[in-house]
Every structure is written in C-alpha cells, then in structure tokens.
Structure 1
Amino acid sequence: MKLIKLLLICVAMGAGASAMAQWQWIDKDGRKVFSDRPPGLDVPDKNILKRPKGYGGVPGAKTSGTGPALRDVAAPEEGEAPAEGAAQAAKPTAKVASGKDKELEAKKAAEDKAKADADKAAKEKQAAAKADNCKRAQQAKAMYDTGKAIRAPNEKGEMVFQNAEQRAAEIKRTDEAIFNNC
C-alpha cells in the first residue's frame, strides 16, 4: 500500500515537472532569453536553443499534453492584418520582449554611477595632493633662493648644515617637483 502511494506521488511530481517547461532562444540583439512561453514568430528556429519535452521542433506543432498549442499561430497572408489573438500570442512577456530586466538595469546603472563617483573622488584627491606638493616645492625653492644656510638631518639623525653639493641637489629636486606638480 505504501509503495502504491509513493508511486502515485512520484507520478504527480512528474506531471508537475512538465508544467515547468522552459524555452531558451537568442533574441535579435544576441541575448539569451529564458521563458515558459514560446518565442514569437520573429525568432527563427535556428535561434531556439532549448524546447520543452513533447515539442517536435516544427513550427506550428503542438505539445503532446493537454496544454496550449505552442507556436501554432499562422502568419497572416500578404496584405492581411494579423488577428488580435495572433498578435497577442506572438508577443512574449514584457521582460522577455526587451531582453533586459529592469531591476538588473537599475542595479548596473547604480554600480556604474558609484564607480564613476569613486573615480572622480580619486582624481580630485590626486589633484589636491599634486597642488599640495606644488605649494611645498615652491616654498622650499623660495627658502633655498634666499641664500641662507639650511640645516638638514644626516645619516645619524643629527642636524647639520648642508654643504654646496647637498644644497645644489635639493634645489634640483625642488625644481623637478615644481615642474611635475605645478
């Protein structure tokens, strides 16, 4: 008795699985589309990647179950307007029609804006540091231009007066800093 109940449950679950049939195709923009509805007639069969079981792959064919017909809407004759039902059946859902998810687009736009803001902040910080380096280099240059003796720490950390070579090297370094930052 338990075996029969288990078997019935398995059969019932198998019938539910066919209701979750999925279609996959590549739309006109080259994006993969996943849907539980068949693609519109504007999608060629070569672009359909996956069909649900029971679909023979022939346009106009029906599923093997009691479900609705898939891609069974005939194209209108030349000069004839499409029937209202045909127009509705040929249109996939709004999410699939655009090929994009509005929430995903919004999230991507927010990430792009955050990245742009971070780049802008980094550039502003770099510009501020460059301006500060320029100001310091100009102050050091002005100090060396006075001709006064300058004291600087030596290897031992003792403050000693700079000799002519050290002074010339520091003037050259400040000139390069002014050239690069100002």
Structure 2
Amino acid sequence: MKTPAALPRLLLVLPLACLTVAAHAQWQWIDGTGRKVFSDTAPPPGTPEKNILSRPAATRAAPPAAPVAAQPAAAVPGSAPVSGVQGGAPKEAVDPKLEARKREAEAAEAAKKKAEEERMARQRAENCERARSAKATLDSGVRIATTSPSGERSIMDDAARATEQRRVADAIRTECGPAPRPAQ
C-alpha cells in the first residue's frame, strides 16, 4: 500500500511523464529557409532526409514507404491482393457521421441552387411580361412622352420609337426565350 507521502510525488511525476511521451511524438526538421520546425505532423514532401532531425519513435522502425504505383499489385500472378489493399490503394474507413454531414451539405447546396434557379425564372418571366407590354404600347401607335434627366417632357419621335422597338425586341428574345411554334 502506498504511503500518503508518496502521493504528492506521484502527482508531480505523472504529468512530467506525459510531457516526455508527447515530446517524443514530435517531428523536427529544418525547412527551406533554414529554420528549425517542430510539429506533430510529418514534414512536407520534398524535404531532404538530411534535414529531418528527429521523428516519432513509431516511424523510425518503418522503412520509407514506396509510392503506390511502384508496388506490385500481387507477388504471384492470379493471387489475391494484400489484405486491406485493393487495387494498390488502401481501403479508407468511412465515418457515418461525416458522410451524413456531407449528404446534408450537398442537399442544402442543391436546395439553394434550385431556389436561385426558381428566383431567376420568376425574374425572367416578369421581365418578359414588361417587355411584351412595352412592345404592345409601342406597336399601338399612341404618342409616348418621355422625361429627360433635366425633367423636361418630350414626345417620342419616329427614330426614337424605332430604336425603342429594337431594344424591346432584343429584351423579348433574351428574357422570353424562343417563340412557341404554331401547331401543325
């Protein structure tokens, strides 16, 4: 049985032991600018082996991994692939929560896109109706008064009416789409 005097010592030693384990799980390398980098992740690809100063103990024993393309698919022709590896690529674990969040995000994005398309369709329909109304007014031959930026009213002459008719026809073409063909 432990004595009461040993308990404070144990409480002091335990956190220090945890710190040393965490310190050994660190990578240490010299980056391209010559600075020493400490991290819990591996250095970026392309870091020369001579610049890696220390690595976690678990990775020291493992030989450097060869690229997947360089590994043979199977040692003997016709044999089954290595367990956990199918077609030369490791099988990834699927997180159901992550997949559910991904599906929800995709559904939300699709709903947002559909709502935007519906809004644009309503806007085009309104613009089409306005353009057709303006065309009917221009084609009717009634005199149309316009107001200048200075506030003066003037009656639209034939040249201005023709220009406005072309502009309205272009708006109808772009906003209303192709005209329906008569039934045969």
Q: TM-score, normalised by structure 2?
A: 0.51
Work out which of the residue numbers 161, 176, 180 in structure 2 matches 1:167: 161
Bigger RCO (CA 8 Å, 6+ sep): 1
* 2:109 counterpart SS class: helix
* 2-structure distance, mates of 1:160, 1:129: 31
The aligned length equals 114
Which segments of structure 1 move beyond 6 Å, counting only runs of 4 or more?
A: none
Work out which of the residue numbers 2, 10, 13 in structure 1 matches 2:18: 13
Offset, 1:102: 1.0
* 1:152 counterpart SS class: strand
Amino acid at match of 1:174: V
* 2-structure distance, mates of 1:157, 1:170: 20
- The structure-2 alpha-carbon separation of the partners of 1:100 and 1:163, relative to structure 1 and needing over 3 Å to count, comes to same
Equivalent residue number for residue 149 of structure 1? 143
Amino acid at match of 1:181: E
Offset, 1:164: 1.5
* 1:134 maps to 2:128: yes
Equivalent residue number for residue 99 of structure 2? 105
Equivalent residue number for residue 31 of structure 1? none
- The structure-2 alpha-carbon separation of the partners of 1:14 and 1:152, relative to structure 1 and needing over 3 Å to count, comes to closer
- The structure-2 alpha-carbon separation of the partners of 1:13 and 1:119, relative to structure 1 and needing over 3 Å to count, comes to same
* 1:120 maps to 2:114: yes
Any gaps of 5 or more consecutive residues in structure 1?
22-49, 59-89, 92-96
Q: Among all aligned residue pairs of Structure 1 and Structure 2, give the percentage whose two residues are the same amino acid.
A: 31
* 2-structure distance, mates of 1:100, 1:181: 47
Offset, 1:10: 5.1
* 1-structure distance, mates of 2:128, 2:14: 79
Trace 1:44-63 onto structure 2 (pairs within 5 A): 53=58, 56-57=61-62
Q: Over aligned residues, Cα RMSD in angstroms?
A: 3.4
* 1-structure distance, mates of 2:148, 2:60: 87
